[in-house]
Amino acid sequence: MTEIPEHLRKRAAEARKKAEGDSGGDAVASGGATESGGASSGGSEAASKIPAHLLQRSKSAKKRGTDEAPGTDVAPAAAAVATATAAPAPVPIITGPAGHTQRLLTVVKAGSIQDIKAKPMDKVHTWPHLLVVEFGAALAVTAFLTVFSIFVNAPLLRLADVNATPNPSKAPWYFLGLQELLTMFHPMVAGVTIPGIGLLALMLAPYIDKNPSNKPEDRKFAVSAFTIFMMFWAVLVIIGSFFRGPGFNFVFPWVEGIFFDL
């Protein structure tokens, strides 16, 4: 037989004594009856708050225990009292902040956990995407110039003669715009001021027009500034190449001819 703890034995004995005392007092008050009837059972039940069927079961077990083994009569009563007095344990409830009991996945959106949509990228890595293209273009231009120089000779003039200065004496085509400015302005203005203003304006253009778009219609200021600079310099080169004759005087090429050698 399972051993019953001592505190349960004591609690069962106290409950039994209290029930017997209450039943005896009720019997004297009702007429001096020696055996507890239905009224005494009802009074003892109300006083001890133990159901009648448990008390009946305890008395039956007491009688059986006296016949079988002394000292074990309180076991069923103790178990009954322990069953009657033990309260059910509350089910633990896990709560979150502020007492909320919702699950995490019902609060957080699925998009913030895993985004399956690919976002468009407007940037390309410098290596290898950009540098491979630039290196390939450089190789193609180098190959073209090598083949072209084999079949076409460079337009070189004869050796310079200090006693025979060519007239007109023109600079290379990429310096003809500056040479044209020298015929119109002072050397300080033509050689330093005007080119310096043009270069400074080109350097400041990206800081003035900060539009990140690559479309020409969205970059009107930058496109306009670069176009004005290129057209200004191109006009000067064309005038110096085809409209300047002997003495670097202004001539019409369809009248005097073209005084320009590549």
CATH number at residue 195: 1.10.287
Give, as one character, the DSSP assignment of residue 250: B
Tell me, what's the pLDDT at 45?
Answer: 44
The alpha carbon of residue 97 and the mean position of all alpha carbons in its chain are separated, in whole angstroms, by 25
* 141 within a domain of the structure (yes/no): no
* 62 within a domain of the structure (yes/no): yes
* 112 within a domain of the structure (yes/no): no
The model's confidence at residue 95, banded by pLDDT at 50, 70 and 90, is low
Same domain, 168 and 252: yes
Q: Is the dihedral of CA 240, 243, 246, 249 positive or negative?
A: negative
Tell me, what's the pLDDT at 40?
Answer: 45
* 232 within a domain of the structure (yes/no): yes
169 burial class (0-12, 13-18, 19+ CB within 10 angstroms)?
A: exposed
Q: Which residues pair with 250 in a beta bridge?
A: 244
Show the domain range for 170.
155-256
* 38 within a domain of the structure (yes/no): yes
Domain count, the chain: 2
Tell me, what's the pLDDT at 39?
Answer: 43
Same domain, 79 and 166: no
Pick the more confident residue, 53 or 3.
53
Tens of pLDDT, residue by residue over 114-128, are 556 666 666 767 888
pLDDT > 90 fraction of the chain, expressed in percent and rounded: 18
Which 3 state secondary structure label does DSSP give 79?
helix
Tens of pLDDT, residue by residue over 16-74, are 888 887 665 555 444 443 444 444 444 444 445 677 877 888 888 888 766 655 544 44
* 78 within a domain of the structure (yes/no): yes
Q: Which range (95-99, 111-115, 128-132, 159-163) has the least confidence?
A: 111-115
- By residue count, the chain amounts to 262
Tens of pLDDT, residue by residue over 132-174, are 999 999 999 999 999 999 998 877 778 888 888 888 888 888 8
* 90 within a domain of the structure (yes/no): no
Whether residue 235 has pLDDT greater than 90? yes
* 190 within a domain of the structure (yes/no): yes
Helix axes 52-68, 6-30, angle to 10 degrees: 110
The model's confidence at residue 203, banded by pLDDT at 50, 70 and 90, is confident
Same domain, 163 and 250: yes
Q: Which of 75, 18, 82, 79 is nearest to 45 (CA)?
A: 18
The overall average pLDDT reported for the chain is: 75
Question: CA of 144: how far to CAs of 122, 133, 149, 240, in Å?
Answer: 33, 17, 9, 30
DSSP assignments along 26-84, one per residue: HHHHHT--SS--HHHHHHHHHHH---HHHHHHHHHHHHHHHHH-TT-THHHHHHHHHHH
Tell me, what's the pLDDT at 252?
Answer: 92
Domain boundary pick from 69, 85, 101: 85
